[in-house]
Structure 1
C-alpha cells in the first residue's frame, strides 16, 4: 500500500524570500506522492509567477487580492479535494522542513485513524534548538488557547488544538467538518478548526518525529514608529478571540471568558495609550466591538 496522495497548500502574500526558502526545503522532501499548491494572495510584485518560474512543478493559484490565511488556504483546499488528494497539509510560507517531515506525519496519521489531524514539532527558525510549538491546550473556563513550547521531551501524542503553521488533515475529515471559517481571515482560525474537529468526534495528534522550523510572525511585522507588529494584527487578535468565545464557550464559561479577555485587552489599550500608539488603541477597541457585534457567519 503506497503513501496517501498529499496536497501541500502554501499561501504567499508579499513574502517572496520566505516562500523561496520554504519551496527549496520542500524540494528535498522524501515522500512518494505530493503536490504543492502555491496560492499567491494578491502580492504586489507578481511573486507567484516568479516562484513558478523557479519551481515549475508547483500548481500556482493567483488571487486578485489578499483573501487572508483562511481565504487563501480554502481555495487551495477546495482544489485539492476536487483533484482527489487523500491528505491536505497547510504549511506557512515562513517555514523550512526536514526531508522526512511529511513521511512521519503521514505515518502517524495512518497509525492513528482516530486522529482527524496531526502536527509536527515546530522549532524556532532563529534558534533551532528552541521549540516554538508542540501543539496546544484549550482552557475551557476562559476560552484560552495555550501553546505548548517549554520542553520537547514531555508532550502528549494527543492535543487540544493544532497550529495552522503546519497541519496535516485527512480529506474525509475536511468533508465532514468543513473548511476554515472565513470570518476569521487570520489568527485563531486554526483553534476554531481544531475544536470543530474535536466536536465532530476526532482527536488531534502531535508527531515529535516530524520537524519544521518557523520564523514566527513574518507576515505580521511592520517596523513602524508604533512597534514591530502591525495594528491590523491586534485588531484581528482581539476580534477573533471574541469570535472564539461566541462559537465555543458554554453558558457556564461565557462570562468568565468575556471577563478574562476583556481585562486583558483593557491592559493592551492602556499600554498602547501611554506609549502614544493611537492606531493600536483604535485597533484593539474596534476589534472588541466587531468581535461582539459582527454579523458575519461564525
Structure 2
C-alpha cells in the first residue's frame, strides 16, 4: 500500500527539520510551500533533496496548498494520504500504525493520532477541545485506566495530522477554496460526515504539535484579523452541508444593516463602520454555491 505525506510549509524553519527527521523513511513526502520568506525552501532543497517540493509564488492558503499535494499523491497512485502540519513531530512507527487502524476500519474517512503539545507535557489545546466536546468514551477510558479501543469516533478533530484513504477524496473532494486559513478543517469534517464516512482518533500513536493556534484570541475590533476571524466563523456555520443555516443568510445581513443604522443614530461611527463591513463581507452567493457543490460526490477542488 502506497502512503504519501503532504505537508504545507510557510516560514517553517523553527520546526521543519525536526518534523522531517521524524517522518523520513515512513512514507513518501510531498511539500507545498506557500512562498516562505525565510530559508524554508532552500533548507528543504539542500537537506532533503529527494522530497517532492512544490514552491508557490504566493501564499495561496492552507487548503489550496494541501490540494496541490493531495492531487499529486493521487495521480501517483497513493492509497493513503497523511496530512501533517509543519509544526509536528511524529513517532517512529506513526505511519504504519495509522495504516493498520485505517485498514481495519474502512468506514472511517479521517483518522487522527493523539495530539500532545510541543514538549509532551499535556494534550494540544485544540485537540483537547474537540475530545472534550465529542469523545467522552476516550476520556473515560483514559482516566479510569480501561483498555483503550483501537479507534474512537467523533465529529471533528483539527487537521494537524489526518490519515485518509484515497476514497475519502474520491467521494468528498479536496479542501474548499472558500477558506484561506482556519475553518477549512471544520468544513471538510462536515462534508465527510455528510457523505456517510466517519472521523476517529486512535490512541495507538501520539504526535507532538507545537501549535500557536489563535482561536481564543480576541483581535482589535475593525482590524484585518478581526474580520478574518469573523468571516471564518460565518463560513463554518453557513457553509455546513449538514444544516439549513445558509437559508438564514439574508436575515443575518439584515441584522448587521440594522445594527449599522442604529449606530448612526447613537453617534457610534466606529460601530457603524464595523457593522457595515460585516454586512458587505457576508456573501450569500458564495456560501450557497459552496453548499451545493459540496453535497456532490467527486474529486472537486483537486486536479
Taking a change above 3 Å as real, the CA distance of residues 253 and 14 of structure 1, as seen in their structure-2 partners, is: closer
Rg larger for: 2
Q: Match for 2:170 among 175, 187, 191?
A: 175
The match for 1:41 is 34
Report how far residue 292 of structure 1 moved.
4.6
Taking a change above 3 Å as real, the CA distance of residues 53 and 253 of structure 1, as seen in their structure-2 partners, is: closer
The match for 2:77 is 84
Task: Say if 2:114 is the partner of 1:121.
Answer: yes
Over the aligned positions, Cα root-mean-square deviation in angstroms equals: 3.5
Distance 2:98 2:175 in 1: 21
Report how far residue 293 of structure 1 moved.
4.8
Task: Say if 2:233 is the partner of 1:241.
Answer: yes
User: How many correspondences in the alignment?
Assistant: 257
Distance 2:194 2:66 in 1: 22
Task: Say if 2:9 is the partner of 1:12.
Answer: yes
The match for 2:159 is 164
Taking a change above 3 Å as real, the CA distance of residues 25 and 235 of structure 1, as seen in their structure-2 partners, is: farther
- SS at 2:142 equivalent: coil
- SS at 2:232 equivalent: helix
CA contact (8 A) 2:239 2:246 kept: no
Q: Match for 2:281 among 281, 285, 290?
A: 290
CA contact (8 A) 1:159 1:204 kept: yes
- SS at 1:60 equivalent: strand
Q: Match for 2:209 among 214, 218, 221?
A: 214
Tell me which protein shows more strand as a share of its residues. Answer: 1
The match for 1:275 is none
Distance 2:38 2:205 in 1: 33
For residues 87-118 of structure 1, the C-alpha deviation after alignment (integer angstroms, 9 at most, x for no partner) is 11111101111111111111110110111110
TM normalised by structure 1 equals: 0.74
In structure 2, list runs of 5 or more residues that go unmatched: 260-269, 291-303
CA contact (8 A) 1:135 1:163 kept: no
Distance 2:276 2:203 in 1: 39
For residues 177-233 of structure 1, the C-alpha deviation after alignment (integer angstroms, 9 at most, x for no partner) is 110001111111111111111111111121111211111127x79xxxx79xxx655
Taking a change above 3 Å as real, the CA distance of residues 283 and 213 of structure 1, as seen in their structure-2 partners, is: farther
Comparing 237-246 and 4-13, the one that deviates more: 237-246
Taking a change above 3 Å as real, the CA distance of residues 15 and 252 of structure 1, as seen in their structure-2 partners, is: closer
CA contact (8 A) 1:188 1:244 kept: yes
Task: Say if 2:105 is the partner of 1:112.
Answer: yes
The match for 1:64 is 57
CA contact (8 A) 1:161 1:194 kept: yes
Distance 1:72 1:111 in 2: 30
Task: Say if 2:10 is the partner of 1:21.
Answer: no
Query: Which ranges of 4 or more aligned residues in structure 1 deviate by more than 6 Å?
Result: 147-150, 252-255, 281-285
Report how far residue 287 of structure 1 moved.
6.1
The match for 1:136 is 130
Distance 1:104 1:182 in 2: 31
The match for 1:269 is none
In structure 1, list runs of 5 or more residues that go unmatched: 138-144, 267-277
